[in-house]
Amino acid sequence: MKIHEYQARDLFAAYGIPVAEGDIAKTSDEALRIARRIGFPIVIKAQVLVGGRGKAGGVKVVGSEAELIAEFNRIKNLNIKGYSVDRLLIVRAIDIKKEYYLAVTIDHIKGDVVIIASGEGGVEIEETAKSHPDKIIKFYMQGEKILDEQQWMPKAAELFADLRLQRESTTLLQALLKLFFEKDCSLAEINPLVIDGQGRLIAADAKVIIDDNALFRHEDLAALRDLQYEDADELEAKDKGLSFVKLEGNVGCIVNGAGLAMGTMDAVNLMGGKPANFLDVGGSSNPQKMINAINIILRNKAIKVILINIFGGITRCDDIAVGILAALKQIKIPVPLVIRLTGTNEQQAKELLSQAGMTTFTSMRQATSKAVETANI
Ligand code: GDP
Ligand code: MN
């Protein structure tokens, strides 16, 4: 889950990372009040959860009240990559002497937490990675949660000539790491981290992504979710106890158990098809879940077939069959269903479905192959 810059800044401040004074405004009156309190020059920053906001005109330094109001209204009416701007951050402008990049994230290939730093801050790090890969410093935590300062110091010296800044940046990095681990982040990024006119380090931007699977441990953070950026179908699925992720293909998948759901997507791919979604109806045998699952899947108009793949353990196949039949009564399903059932009460399930004129598969390979064939016609 991404959080807004103004929320990430609050986290930074709580962990002792310096940020410029400021506050959030929804109206130009509020912006004016904040600006009068902290004094000009001021930076107005659109709060949108997409990259390249500065380039899209969503960040502006202003020097007077008239300019503040004009720019506030201009930015408020921007549409940045399809998103409207309803909140703007009003902060004291920093007299920027130099911009750096500093982030903590996860390297999924190495299975380790990595610190990424660069003296080429401000621009998107992906661009620097392409044009000047030598200007990017990477430091792996090797499973540790606290920075080994002895090992880090040579890297700090590459970034800053000044010993005081080497020390200050290391303290700041320790704070960023603490935040990263305590809040279960997948990214904690400062771009740019700047040196101001007094030679102090300040975070001029703040980006934090929290691991969705850890949000149950952080109710306060979960409450920061901005629904404008969430997929409505995924939210509804979550609400109904289904794990659902929309994908690009046309084979709708309904599966019990996350492992089998992953396996089903692999099988669809192997057979030359493309799954339209991941959907785990879970281990229970509640027929209503099947109805909800079919309803959610059918909103995706790209779907050509629905593959239902059930391995009955705790889940009873006959309950699934009842769910499918109930769904067929309630919903007009415009695409073919391919059903594979095996395990607990398999026989009863197959009888129920065959009485309704439906055939079922026992083999996952055959069912998947049939579904892909149907989708590819
Ligand atoms: P992003 O484009 O969404 O990443 O927005 P940032 O907050 O990183 O701002 C983009 C750029 O605007 C920065 O790299 C700076 O060059 C400039 N900027 C942002 N804040 C300030 C500030 O306080 N003072 C000055 N002079 N420039 C700023
Ligand atoms: Mn930035």
Task: Give the pLDDT band of residue 283 (cuts 50, 70, 90).
Answer: confident
User: Does ligand 1 come within 6 angstroms of the Cβ of 204?
Assistant: yes
Q: Is 185 helix (H, G, I), strand (E, B) or coil?
A: strand
pLDDT at residue 60 in the model: 98
Q: Which atom of ligand 1 is nearest to the CA of 99?
A: 14
**pTM of the prediction?**
0.81
What is the C-alpha separation between 34 and 271, in angstroms, rounded? 60
pLDDT digits (tens, 9 = 90+) for 2-42: 999 999 999 999 999 999 999 999 999 999 999 999 999 99
Quote the ligand 1 centre to 98 CA distance (angstroms): 11
pLDDT digits (tens, 9 = 90+) for 148-207: 999 999 999 999 999 999 999 999 999 999 999 999 999 999 999 999 999 999 999 999
DSSP string, 53-94: TTTTT-EEEE-SHHHHHHHHHHHHT-EETTEE---EEEEEPP
96-222 maps to which CATH number? 3.30.470.20
21-92 maps to which CATH number? 3.30.1490.20
User: Does ligand 1 come within 6 angstroms of the Cβ of 205?
Assistant: yes
pLDDT digits (tens, 9 = 90+) for 198-222: 999 999 999 999 999 999 999 999 9
Nearest CA to ligand 1 atom 19: 204
The rounded mean pLDDT for the chain is 95
The average pLDDT across 310-317 equals 91
126 catalytic residue (yes or no): no
pLDDT digits (tens, 9 = 90+) for 250-278: 999 999 999 999 999 999 999 999 999 99
pLDDT digits (tens, 9 = 90+) for 324-362: 999 999 999 999 999 999 999 999 999 999 999 999 999
Task: Give the pLDDT band of residue 284 (cuts 50, 70, 90).
Answer: low
Quote the ligand 2 centre to 56 CA distance (angstroms): 12
Select from 191, 195, 205 the residue to mutate for testing ligand 1; criterion: most ligand atoms less than 8 Å from CB. Answer: 205
In the chain, the amino acid numbered 33 is R
Which residue bears the tokens 């027929």?
Answer: 287
Closest CA to 117 of 99, 130, 94: 99
Task: Give the pLDDT band of residue 285 (cuts 50, 70, 90).
Answer: low
Task: Give the sheet arrangement for strand 88-92, strand by strand.
Answer: 22-25, 88-92, 42-46, 59-62
Contacts of 207 (CB under 8 A, 6+ apart): 2, 5, 8, 187, 188, 189, 190, 191
Q: Does domain 231-375 have CATH number 3.40.50.261?
A: yes
Looking at mean pLDDT, say which of 84-93, 220-229, 288-297, 313-322 comes out highest. 84-93
Strands 251-255 and 305-312: parallel
pLDDT at residue 234 in the model: 87
Q: Is the dihedral of CA 174, 180, 186, 188 positive or negative?
A: negative
Helix, strand, coil percentages in the chain from 3-state DSSP, rounded to 5: 40, 25, 35
Instruction: State the alpha helices, DSSP H only, in 212-280.
Output: 219-222, 232-239, 258-270
What is the C-alpha separation between 368 and 339, in angstroms, rounded? 9
Nearest CA to ligand 1 atom 5: 54
The average pLDDT across 69-85 equals 96
User: Does ligand 1 come within 6 angstroms of the Cβ of 22?
Assistant: no
pLDDT at residue 39 in the model: 97
pLDDT at residue 181 in the model: 98
101 catalytic residue (yes or no): yes
Angle at alpha carbon of residue 188, lines to 184 and 189, rounded to 5°: 170
User: Does ligand 1 come within 6 angstroms of the Cβ of 62?
Assistant: no
In the numeric block, which tokens belong to residue 241?
């106890």
Domain ranges of the chain: 21-92, 96-222, 231-375
> Can you count the helices (H) and strands (E) in the chain?
13, 19
DSSP string, 7-56: HHHHHHHHTT--B-SEEEESSHHHHHHHHHHH-SSEEEEE--SSS-TTTT
